[in-house]
Structure 1
């Protein structure tokens, strides 16, 4: 078989080739030898001498395909409308397969003759040829499909559409239909244009999809109206979900995948979006009664609808907020901090689980939970008063971390402290919490009341993760001081043992604390004359400390000290831990023979304690019945040592007044927070202005609020006052010829 170009008798060759073409298009049996010969005939026609006959072959093939499809059209139409879809589908399956084989038979014509004349993808996308697409030559397989579209689908399109819609309606009504036929006919609208580079779905969308969506919308509009009349909201939602699932399954049975979401969207619009007012009207009752099944259905229906979840989300937020506020308002009794934290954690835990199970942890609903919890936790019964939540949380943590918290395991303690961070993150006034927490931590460390130093450090690390190193810097320094003080005590013990003349006569240990790290006021400390029994210990420690650390000044804070005294004057021996001031008063009864009664003026003269402080210390000794006095304490009062004192415990403790929080201390803490806030805001303003140089008033306020939000929410009035203060200090100035712009003064 020669490949050399030669003269070819076209009529004779075409007659032979046509028989094979008919067999191929009708999927008839074609012998391999015949196929090979016909493939060679196509090649010979394309390379014929003296002139290639490819164009003539193309035209003859086109004429054959048109005649063949026209005959098929008559065959389909002749069988009546009842069998039209089935016959169309049968002929299409045969024809589409045959056109595929025919395209292979004409492979050489396609590659050497047709493709060279086709417009390229670049020309299609960007232009370049003013060619009418209808005049463009198609590969033989494409030509066969185009012929089917023009001569079969176009004449039958109305009938096909109506019959398909009827079949779909039957399926919706529960009647059986031939899924294979319907799916095949619909897919033929796609397959017949698959070869197109652009707009390959145009026929499918225009001929079938658009009318189908319109019909679907009408059907479900009527269905929704019927269901709404027959059922309540709960049942309506169940029916709608069922119908959506059924229609989605139906789409996958019959339609092209590109239509799945469009059909679902149309159904949702008709049955959900068109009835939003009805559904939204039921949200409040469902949320307040926490009907989980109904809420799950409501969420799944409203989620795909634009702006559909807004009302449901707001109702959820309002309900959680109301529940939280009820829990906060009902606090009473002794353990208010514990009630506050545990009730808020219970609310948070309950609705976190609800949002995860019902709303699938949707971030919008998680945000609603956060807003609601923040509103409840930061609630103020009186807007003019400070919110107490930060203080209550700090007291709750203090209660957990004190040795007095009994019956709690390390694991349980760790879990409770971790839960505290959940409440802490919602606090607006994190700086208030820091103040109270640091003051309570200081007392726990000074009086050795911490249940576990590991738990203390773990809590501080959690706070650092939540707010950063700056937030816990001073808390870390307090721990450092405790460690350094332990080393100092060991060195001081070695110092006293080196020389017998340094013997103190008492067990003596100290804490050396950095003034800047500890929240202890050094001003207004009560004066106190140290008892003679302790003067040597203090003097020796100062000698030791100044020898090791030159240039440092020690300020003794006797009000924070504890001492253990041994009572030998009673029938039983008692070991009593008390404050230094208590010790100073009781040692006066030991200053001479049989001193059992002392006057207020005598005690004040020898202790040098201020009258108010002395009254407080005496009262605590009277309350514990160690000394006796009738009536109110006055400067003329006398006090007797209670020689009949009796206690079941031989070791006990008298709590120093400084260990108990007074209203004045709480007020001072809030005042200190206000001062810190002013300094923080001023520093933020300077940082911002130093970077920006010139800034409008409103933009400056926004940036200050943004920077401060992690610690507290500054009021606009506070920011304005801080701006005025910085202008007075000449850090800022108002820009000339403007009323709302500031410049940084370098």
Structure 2
């Protein structure tokens, strides 16, 4: 409803000074109230000129600050609203259900219009009369009280019941009049408010949008007490009945889809017509019936979580997680199924004898499984910490049953860094390194992995077998993050030694002999004794004269730079390229240093026995036989012997095979492997002896800082500090006893279960 503004220069043609209050009220009645009531009944406003408002307002201003007249104005204001509501109630008493809701919503909307325009006329009373009175509330509150007493108090029970029924009807899929419910929710939120008011607002953000009158209130008394409690009770009963039917008729995926749909519907309902203050309680009730009371049954259904995991139905798992996440206490039901699933998948690999007999395939399958479950946790469970822990627990329970995985992973890493990375781009290399180190993080026998990896790394570095130096650096960096600087200190020292050796070799090449004393070009690696796994040979090997010339030249160069340092030569790690002229064609043989010593004997003699080779080189007989036999096998038959079969006796006579030839000029002579016990490659790795020292150091370090500690507390601290392996309680107890015997600790005389540090 709008009114025409008063034109500029118009005059109010009545005399207020001679007018009585009764005449003024009659004028307000005729000029303003009756047209307004007619508009509410018919929708037609006969007098839209703003002059009527000015006349009515002027009357209120004239008499509103006079005590004997202001009460009459105030009473008239209330009577108009009271009479309108009383008249409307006669029709409301005859209807029920949705018809009642529509009629009540219409009455509330029209009553809002009536109150808004009446308050504008009588608003002067709020300046003086109601402001200074404790008995008479302000105009908005008084109008609301009239509506409450005349209408709401008489229809609230029927109204609330009908509203709840309509909400349930919408839940069943029927169309309802949402505008009616929105108006009634506004009514419920406003009734009983202590400071309500009606304001005019645009229905949209566009300036051309129509105006709408609505009540503003702070409290939600009637909404909470009269409606929300009934709604929540009905909602609980509704979904409890629905769930009983769904549980019998639906499979788990369909049930989950239905739950998600219902949850979305309830959220939409809150935004469309329910008050936002109901959000917490409504969600609590809905989620209790749809999630809390069903989660365990859903997980355990034949089509539930176990079936989803087994058949890799990740979209269904994602939906289940998204629903259960609303009630975090239900997530453990899902995790409790995921853990044994991962254990089962992992067991199929680590207990398969074919896999055990093939370490590379074993490791590849474990890495594939690790990547699969990692991706599953990310995509289905949004990397939830609970699911990450469940994944870790499932993998570690199987992988850490023995030391095989640690050993195989180290061997696999060596294989990949030697030749498995050929042809791969930088991203693929980075991905593989991440996968290996990610699996390494799950192992409790990290020290076993590091020991085997260190030995393999030394061979790669010394024999220049690494495919990618960047991959080696990346691997070491990620291992440092997982187990700390101290654990990879020796690995880092190996790289440092190689870099320093390169510098020394460059300087050595600048000498007068240009790095080739006696015409023999050679390269030397100087390594720290405590950083590398290889140790100097105990056997007093006798090098040939050519080697001695090189050794003396390098020692002279090195001692000139580093006085006081001692060099110990490790011949078994050396490799020699030797040019052979006595063969069918000229070849360059790549042999071990020991093989070279044997071959050099044929420069002076045409025939040599194995015994003479042992005596000349001082090699142990078993090792000497292995080295020489590698030169007599059919593939690289550089030497011939007079024995029969593959065995080589100590008195066997050896001579150069003058008819030997190969397609390649440069021939790599492979060394026969040492005799290994059956299954040694696939056998479990033994725990390093250093573990005892690590435990001892941890106990002493802890006791030194605490002075006195009880047994269980000491165990917990040792467990926490031993990051590279998980010591057993019996092992820790044994080391404690050793430390007591060595007088590092003693038992507390008052409490035999406690220990005291002895400085």
Matches within 5 A, 1:174-193: 174-193=173-192
What does residue 349 of structure 1 align with?
A: 371
Instruction: Identify which range, 57-66 or 321-330, moves more after superposition.
Output: 57-66
**Contact kept? 1:438, 1:519, Cα under 8 Å:** yes
What does residue 554 of structure 1 align with?
A: 567
Matches within 5 A, 1:37-436: 48=66, 61=77, 65-66=81-82, 68-77=84-93, 83-103=99-119, 109-110=125-126, 138-193=137-192, 200-250=219-269, 252-260=271-279, 262-276=281-295, 278-282=297-301, 283=304, 284-292=306-314, 294-305=316-327, 307-330=329-352, 332=354, 336-380=358-402, 387-403=403-419, 408=424, 412-436=428-452
Q: CA deviation at 1:356?
A: 4.2
Q: TM-score, normalised by structure 1?
A: 0.83
Where do 5+ consecutive residues of structure 2 fail to align?
1-10, 12-16, 197-216
What does residue 472 of structure 2 align with?
A: 456
> Relative to structure 1, is the Cα distance of residues 467 and 185 closer, same or farther in structure 2, using a 3 angstrom cutoff?
same
Give, in whole Å, the separation in 1 of the partners of 2:418 and 2:97: 89
Q: CA deviation at 1:92?
A: 0.6
SS of 1:508's partner is: coil
SS of 1:652's partner is: strand
- C-alpha deviations, 1:380-427, integer Å up to 9, x for none? 3xxxxxx11122111111112215875555654443333222222222
Match of 1:526 among 527, 539, 549: 539
**Contact kept? 1:528, 1:607, Cα under 8 Å:** yes
Give, in whole Å, the separation in 2 of the partners of 1:25 and 1:448: 100
Q: CA deviation at 1:576?
A: 0.9
What does residue 597 of structure 1 align with?
A: 608
SS of 2:542's partner is: coil
Count of aligned positions: 709
SS of 1:563's partner is: strand
Q: CA deviation at 1:113?
A: 6.4
Give, in whole Å, the separation in 2 of the partners of 1:667 and 1:467: 26
Residue 529 of structure 2 corresponds to residue 515 of structure 1: yes
Q: CA deviation at 1:488?
A: 1.0
Give, in whole Å, the separation in 1 of the partners of 2:62 and 2:756: 89
Q: CA deviation at 1:358?
A: 4.0
SS of 2:527's partner is: coil
**Contact kept? 2:164, 2:231, Cα under 8 Å:** yes
SS of 1:504's partner is: helix
Q: CA deviation at 1:58?
A: 5.7
SS of 1:515's partner is: coil
Residue 633 of structure 2 corresponds to residue 620 of structure 1: no
SS of 1:186's partner is: helix
What does residue 693 of structure 2 align with?
A: 679
**Contact kept? 1:567, 1:573, Cα under 8 Å:** yes
**Contact kept? 1:344, 1:377, Cα under 8 Å:** no
What does residue 130 of structure 1 align with?
A: none
Q: CA deviation at 1:291?
A: 3.6
Give, in whole Å, the separation in 1 of the partners of 2:755 and 2:56: 90
**Contact kept? 2:359, 2:682, Cα under 8 Å:** no
**Contact kept? 2:542, 2:616, Cα under 8 Å:** yes
Q: CA deviation at 1:151?
A: 3.1
**Contact kept? 2:638, 2:656, Cα under 8 Å:** yes
SS of 2:667's partner is: strand
Give, in whole Å, the separation in 2 of the partners of 1:31 and 1:433: 94
Q: CA deviation at 1:512?
A: 0.4
Q: TM-score, normalised by structure 2?
A: 0.82
SS of 2:609's partner is: strand
- C-alpha deviations, 1:91-150, integer Å up to 9, x for none? 211222443455555555546665678xxxxxxxxxxxxxxxxx7864322332233233
> Relative to structure 1, is the Cα distance of residues 373 and 138 closer, same or farther in structure 2, using a 3 angstrom cutoff?
farther
**Contact kept? 1:402, 1:449, Cα under 8 Å:** yes
**Contact kept? 1:393, 1:433, Cα under 8 Å:** yes
**Contact kept? 2:407, 2:449, Cα under 8 Å:** yes
Where do 5+ consecutive residues of structure 1 fail to align?
118-134, 381-386
What does residue 713 of structure 2 align with?
A: 699
Give, in whole Å, the separation in 1 of the partners of 2:356 and 2:279: 62
**Contact kept? 1:694, 1:742, Cα under 8 Å:** yes
SS of 2:431's partner is: helix
Give, in whole Å, the separation in 1 of the partners of 2:683 and 2:96: 97
What does residue 720 of structure 1 align with?
A: 733
- C-alpha deviations, 1:694-744, integer Å up to 9, x for none? 4333233223322333x2222222333343444445544444522333444
Q: CA deviation at 1:229?
A: 3.7
SS of 1:564's partner is: strand
> Relative to structure 1, is the Cα distance of residues 297 and 404 closer, same or farther in structure 2, using a 3 angstrom cutoff?
closer
Give, in whole Å, the separation in 2 of the partners of 1:610 and 1:80: 110
**Contact kept? 1:24, 1:98, Cα under 8 Å:** no
> Relative to structure 1, is the Cα distance of residues 271 and 665 closer, same or farther in structure 2, using a 3 angstrom cutoff?
closer
What does residue 384 of structure 1 align with?
A: none
SS of 1:674's partner is: coil
**Contact kept? 1:103, 1:139, Cα under 8 Å:** no
What does residue 441 of structure 1 align with?
A: 457
Match of 2:664 among 631, 646, 649: 649
Give, in whole Å, the separation in 2 of the partners of 1:321 and 1:733: 43
Instruction: Identify which range, 155-164 or 172-181, moves more after superposition.
Output: 172-181
Instruction: Identify which range, 293-302 or 467-476, moves more after superposition.
Output: 293-302
Q: CA deviation at 1:443?
A: 0.7
> Relative to structure 1, is the Cα distance of residues 665 and 429 closer, same or farther in structure 2, using a 3 angstrom cutoff?
same
> Relative to structure 1, is the Cα distance of residues 642 and 411 closer, same or farther in structure 2, using a 3 angstrom cutoff?
farther
**Contact kept? 1:578, 1:653, Cα under 8 Å:** yes
Residue 495 of structure 2 corresponds to residue 479 of structure 1: yes
More helix, by proportion: 1
SS of 1:496's partner is: coil
**Contact kept? 2:517, 2:553, Cα under 8 Å:** no
Q: CA deviation at 1:224?
A: 2.7
> Relative to structure 1, is the Cα distance of residues 7 and 691 closer, same or farther in structure 2, using a 3 angstrom cutoff?
farther
> Relative to structure 1, is the Cα distance of residues 553 and 195 closer, same or farther in structure 2, using a 3 angstrom cutoff?
farther
> Relative to structure 1, is the Cα distance of residues 462 and 306 closer, same or farther in structure 2, using a 3 angstrom cutoff?
closer
Instruction: Identify which range, 59-68 or 469-478, moves more after superposition.
Output: 59-68
